Structure 1
Amino acid sequence: MKILLSNDDGVHAEGLKALEDIAHELTDDVWIVAPEVDQSGMARSITLNRPLRVREIGERHFAVDGTPTDCVHLAVDQLMDERPDLILSGVNNGQNIAEDVTMSGTIAAAFQGMTLGIPSVALSLARMDRHAARWHTARAHGAGVIRTLLDGGWPRDVVANVNFPDVEPDEVKGVEVTEQGRRDQLHLYAERRTDLRQRDYFWFGFDGKPSDPPEGTDLHALYNGLISVTPLHLDLTHASARDDLKRRFAR
């Protein structure tokens, strides 16, 4: 089995090293094509207004000065000797759940793989302190989760979104298949700061306040020490609203 790895935290990220260890439990044929620098929050953006540079930093190991989507497409279209059988994206330093999934570069890389017809999995790790992420938890459980996914497969238009809780490996309470949750309070904020020339600038951040999610959601699973596996797809159509609008415009 040939596996392609990518991420949005950058080619030197600790989470990518963890993902490489996970992938090598599944196969020896592992390729890495990842952004040269941190591309968090880039979602599914692609680079159209400039050329992309690729740097080979090791055997089957490339850095791209572009987005996660750029990386996956270049890997499959140009850099790899054959199409991969599986794409793994991550392990992200921080969970990708609820509203995060639409802005996540980690999930975007997996979506790009899915659009190319390749089974793709996004993996992320919840943490309170980005400098104290429990990578050993992802390493301990990652390969097992992926094997279970591969055993039965999943629909071609679906990405498996895996999130590990912020607990020690032996404190993980199991795996729960979940639906995408929704936070009940504002999660993203803008902080106003002043530079040395007394000019204002703004910096986005996340407040990290816990919400009170219902059971069965990705949020609830992580809060309760479970690995969350959520099947995601790109169809954003709201079915009941569509049906209501159809009735109105048919009058």
Structure 2
Amino acid sequence: MRVLITNDDGIQSPGLVVLAQVALEAGCDVVVAAPHRQYSGASASLTAKEVDGRLALVDARPPGLPDGVLAFGVKAAPALITFVAAYGAFGERPDLVLSGVNLGANTGRATLHSGTVGAALSSATQGIPALAMSIASAEPQHWETARLVTTHAFAWLREQGADEERVLNVNVPDIPVEQLRGLRPARLASFGAVQARVREKGQDYVTLTYSGVDAEDEPGSDHHLLARGWATATLLTAPYDEPGDTELPSFTGRGDAPVSVDVGSGTVMSAGDDRPSGEIAEEHVEDPAAH
């Protein structure tokens, strides 16, 4: 099984090594491809630094990465890295993607903004299941706890098989292994670990303040359980259409309107023709007066 490892904290982050060690111990073929710099908050952005249309790489690898593991520093957002990996940018297409271990929790609906989770969701849209791992500290002291939880989460993901929409989002408290209460399923909190408020608005500026979230508010949520010594697991899915009986807005246009549009260029094609509207073939129309 081939595993791609990425993150949003950059190629030098120790969290990459934790994921690589877990995948290697499971007998997987591992490749690391991570942003050349910090990309936190990138969500599923597909931004990149290109040179003459080429995705730029840097010669870098995480300190402590086992010898023999191929590593790429990429001048791109993590979601773009997993996107192009699906097409062979870093060798064979991966079977699974591991993203993290992120420096800081990714809990609640604020995971929408996470580059770590964004990379995993981007992978899932390409039919590759993914695991997003985060530890609840900007300067973790207990990597052994993250490694233990990652081992269990990774084993679960492998057992599930190739479900193209599956993303497992896991958060780990930064505490010693002996203090960890375990790993539990959890729902997303209504917001993330930090809440923002507008403090002041001027003509050409807005000032925001940030505050911690009271985990007491939502028992059973990922943030609530994480604050009480539990590692949490939440299943996410890549974007998909919502089936159901809800009536959606619709209307009918002109019957002779163009029926084909090139969505890449915006070129409008004529009805019943495959040429741009400026090149419509003339139709022969009989003159009634001729009879």
Q: What's the TM-score, normalizing by structure 1?
A: 0.81
Verify the 8 A CA contact 1:126 1:133 in the aligned structure 2.
no
Question: Can you give the 5+ residue segments of structure 1 that lack an aligned partner in the other structure?
Answer: 193-199
User: Structure 1 stretch 168-177 or stretch 145-154: which is displaced more?
Assistant: 145-154
Verify the 8 A CA contact 1:98 1:183 in the aligned structure 2.
yes
User: Structure 1 stretch 176-185 or stretch 6-15: which is displaced more?
Assistant: 176-185
Could you say which residue in structure 1 is the equivalent of 2:86? 76
Could you say which residue in structure 2 is the equivalent of 1:166? 174
Residue among 35, 43, 58 paired with 1:55: 58
CA separation of 1:84 and 1:214: change in aligned 2, threshold 3 A:
same
Verify the 8 A CA contact 1:181 1:217 in the aligned structure 2.
yes
Higher helix share: 1
For 2:104 and 2:182, locate their aligned partners in 1 and report how far apart those are by CA, in whole Å.
19
For 1:81 and 1:185, locate their aligned partners in 2 and report how far apart those are by CA, in whole Å.
36
Residues 5-16 of structure 1: matches in 2 within 5 Å? 5-16=5-16
For 1:91 and 1:208, locate their aligned partners in 2 and report how far apart those are by CA, in whole Å.
21
SS in 2 for 1:77: coil
Verify the 8 A CA contact 1:134 1:167 in the aligned structure 2.
yes
CA separation of 1:34 and 1:212: change in aligned 2, threshold 3 A:
same
SS in 2 for 1:46: coil
Asked whether 1:2 is paired with 2:2, we answer yes
Quote how far apart the aligned CAs of 1:189 are.
5.6
CA separation of 1:189 and 1:83: change in aligned 2, threshold 3 A:
same
Could you say which residue in structure 1 is the equivalent of 2:228? 224
Residue among 234, 237, 243 paired with 1:233: 237
Could you say which residue in structure 1 is the equivalent of 2:109? 99
CA separation of 1:57 and 1:188: change in aligned 2, threshold 3 A:
same
The code of the aligned residue for 2:97 comes to I
SS in 1 for 2:215: coil
Q: State the Cα deviation string for residues 8-30 of structure 1 (Å, max 9, x = none).
A: 00000121122222222222511
CA separation of 1:186 and 1:76: change in aligned 2, threshold 3 A:
closer
Could you say which residue in structure 2 is the equivalent of 1:195? none
Quote how far apart the aligned CAs of 1:81 are.
2.6
Verify the 8 A CA contact 1:35 1:64 in the aligned structure 2.
yes
Residue among 165, 173, 189 paired with 1:181: 189
CA separation of 1:247 and 1:18: change in aligned 2, threshold 3 A:
closer
Residue among 212, 218, 222 paired with 1:214: 218
Q: What's the TM-score, normalizing by structure 2?
A: 0.71
The alignment yields a C-alpha RMSD, in angstroms, of 3.2
The code of the aligned residue for 1:182 comes to S
CA separation of 1:17 and 1:184: change in aligned 2, threshold 3 A:
closer
User: Structure 1 stretch 207-216 or stretch 161-170: which is displaced more?
Assistant: 207-216
For 2:193 and 2:4, locate their aligned partners in 1 and report how far apart those are by CA, in whole Å.
36
**Percent same amino acid among aligned pairs?**
30
